[in-house]
Amino acid sequence: MTDAAANNSHRPVRHRGVAYWWRALVGILLVILGLLIGGGGAWLIALGGSWYYLPAGIALLLAGILLLAGNMAGVWLYILTWLATVAWAYWEVGLDGWALMPRVLAPTIILIFVLLAVPAFRDIGSRGSRNAAYVTSLLLPVIALGAFGFLHMNALAQSQPAQPPAPAAQSAPNGVAASQDAAIHQVGNDWPVYGGSELATRYSPLNQVTASNVSKLTRVWSFHTGDMPSKAAKDMYSPENTPLEIGGHLYACSAKNILISADAKTGKEEWRYDPKVSDKAIPYGASCRGVAYFAVPGAGADQACATRIIVGTLDARLIAVDAKTGKPCADFGQQGGVDLTEGIGETVPGWYSVTAPPTIVRGIAVVGAQVKDGQAEDAPSGVIRGYDATTGKLAWAWDMGHPDRTGAPPAGDTYSRGTPNMWTVAAADPQLGYVYVPLGNAAVDYYGVDRKDFENQYNSSIVAIDVTTGKPVWHFQTVHHDLWDYDLGSQPTLVDFPTATGKIPAIIVPSKQGQIYVLDRKTGRPLFPVEERKVPSGGVEPNELSKTQPYSGYAHLDQPALTEKDMWGMSPLDQLYCRIQFHRAYYQGEYTPPTVNQPFIEYPGYNGGSDWGSVAVDTDSGVLIANYNDMPNYNQLIPREKADQMGFKPIDKGGSSKKAKDIGDPQSGSPYAIAVNAGWRLSTGLLCSKPPYGHIRAIDLKTGKTLWDEPLGSADNNGPFGLPSMLPLTIGTPNNGGPLVTAGGLIFIAATTDNKLRAIDIKTGKQVWQADLPAGGQTTPMTYEVDGRQYIVIAPGGHHFMETKVGDEVIAYALPAG
């Protein structure tokens, strides 16, 4: 043998040494995966699920054993398994890119690993066959990468906004302008009320910024509130603030109720007032959604507190300060404040708090409160109270447990404990003198046997209250015997609704379960049919359940019932795990009742549908805009004895341990605590259901028909284990916060977990501009005009529940001056 021949004969041996190790590692990987997937597949079959995973696991196991034995058949077996997997995935979900990814992506990556091991097989002896093996090992990965690229491009294509149908023609002009008079704060150049006006349309007639010039929108000023969480409160901040603007002055509040006035043109601070709220007062989250502005009738311009800012605080005070100076109004309550815990009875810091602005109607500031969820049946009252906005004196109190009373309870007594409360924002019709109060649930959400008749009557209802008397005029219930935390979190919206016989003063009521109801706001009568549809039974209180629930004939945001095929994950393993969990749970569709012996699936979850961000209505073109969530919860009741052992305690008994808090709520006084997996998340942080998880929809106001619906939010700052994927894919993220609509034909919205503010063309649903925010945008933007220049303002404060970065900045955007 010549030296050259000897060298050539040894070179493959050295190269094959690395290949042998690679082949062994791939073989071990396949054996492990085969055992896991095969074992899980057998379990899934036993639960009545898919038959794919068991044979796939067996094939992987055999392929791995063959690879370890140096048998080329292991490669061919894996290739056949991969082809079968692709065919099965297509059969199950078609060309749905997001659904295909966990089914096909990981197997395709493993295919590459397997093919790269081909050179290690000893039975490839001749130079020709050896070269063929090398060519195969190079060519097949290219094919595999091509398949991956197809999946990626398919998902990308599906994530981009589709061309929507043209908006339906309007038979008549819509809107509330005709019904507005001096009694309603006009949304003109100013933004004088949370929601724009008492009608809460979140619509501005300003039109300087349009789809054709919004690309020039730029940041023009910002300021910091200085309110950032202490170490003790680092996981409790969710400011959610939308500022007001009146006459060139912008009014904002921070997470812990620091009030700030700034020059609306420059952002320069004019004054600030710090009510010194303690961290101990923070309930579920430190939030101040907004403040209220009030001009005292007949007061002189130079009179102290002639105009005032009124805010409810986390430590349950109602505070009024001079809108010009920020000094407390001495004529309001006790030196500028009212103690809202009066008449409430036993409470502790963080249990009874105000997180929403008061709604002022005919000089009465109407307030509710957030009663921290799920603590105990014997909780502070959900009483609704009206205070004189000038003096701070109690004008009336609506206590549903004492309908005969109109004021404070007698000495030694309290307002009815544990009643449904209003933690969100009311809307109002100053002409009618009605305030529309969205109510939550009784004190514990997932057990209702102990509820009183009047609690069952009013829970999860919209209630019209006459502000001159404090008496309810009508109410409409959106959930009967609510056991799902489907409280009305959205502020309702008032419009003059177009009908064949003319316009009717109406109220639009979005809901967490996705139903959107339209009612006559004078009478509460539905303007569209409401069907009482049969719903599931069972659970721990079958005799108390409502047999039906009200479904709207107008519009709804809820999606079809979940199936095993909707399960998702990062790979076939976690998708298999989610499929097993799906079959382990009790699930009969919407309104599946809570269970104790097995988990139950709540879909939609308690984050909506629609939540506190509410909807917006372009009253000129007749288009309703709703952003919403599409995620389930995975819950289970916990027997009391076990809950006590796990460390569940109500807030007035010292509170639950951190581990128990992360699981759920104590529901003291009931037989069960509750474990809640909001969003049904895996340990990776990913969800068990497939994306999109957040959408934005345009709805024809007159008919309720969908004009377009698009995923909202990108994967850019989202990914497994909390790591940003940096992928510019519109996956549709969870969202909290609301839309702003302008006469410029634009929707401005943040809300998503990718920390961006977007402008969307209302006609097409296409994104036409975006800006990166320094923190999470879980709030609602607003707009105003000063000296002929339109400003878009947002306060991106982040959100502990949404796991976005916390911040304290207020930011204004505008077109270049000149």
Catalytic site positions: 485
The residue among 432, 623, 431, 624 whose CA lies nearest residue 510 is 624
Closest CA to 295 of 190, 402, 407, 416: 190
First to last CA, the chain: 87
Quickly tell me which residue has 């959100």 as its tokens.
799
Structure tokens at 447: 């057990």
At residue 572, what are phi and psi to the nearest 5 degrees? -60, -30
**Beta carbons of 617 and 201 less than 8 angstroms apart:** yes
Q: How far is CA 785 from the centre of its chain?
A: 30
Largest CA distance in the chain: 114
- Cβ 738 vs Cβ 752: under 8 Å: no
3-state secondary structure 217-239: CEEEEEEECCCCCCHHHCCCECC
Are the beta carbons of 152 and 127 closer than 8 angstroms?
Answer: no
Q: Determine how β-strand 706-711 pairs with β-strand 740-742.
A: unpaired
Which of 630, 634, 661 lies closest to 646, judged by CA? 661
In order, the DSSP letters of 378-403 are S-----EEEEETTT--EEEEE-TT-T
The number of angstroms, rounded, from the C-alpha of 3 to the middle of its chain's C-alpha atoms is 73
- Given a contact cutoff of 8 angstroms between Cβ atoms, the answer to whether 525 and 519 are in contact is yes
Q: 3-state secondary structure string, 21-34?
A: HHHHHHHHHHHHHH
What letter represents residue 638's amino acid? I
Q: What angle do CA 705, 711, 713 make, to 5 degrees?
A: 140
Tokens describing residue 211: 């789809």
d(CA 483, CA 275): 37
Task: Count CB-CB contacts under 10 A for residue 410.
Answer: 10
What's the Cα-to-Cα distance from 158 to each of 88, 539, 568, 691, 728, rounded to whole Å? 20, 39, 17, 11, 13
Amino acid at 332: F
Q: What is the DSSP string of 443-467?
A: SSSS--TT--HHHHHHTTEEEEEET
DSSP assignments along 638-700, one per residue: EEHHHHHHHT---GGGT---HHHHHHEE--BTSSEEEEEEET-B-TTS-BSBPSP-EEEEEEE
Peptide bond before 165: cis, by omega within 30 degrees of 0? Answer: no
Token digits of residue 558: 């809820």
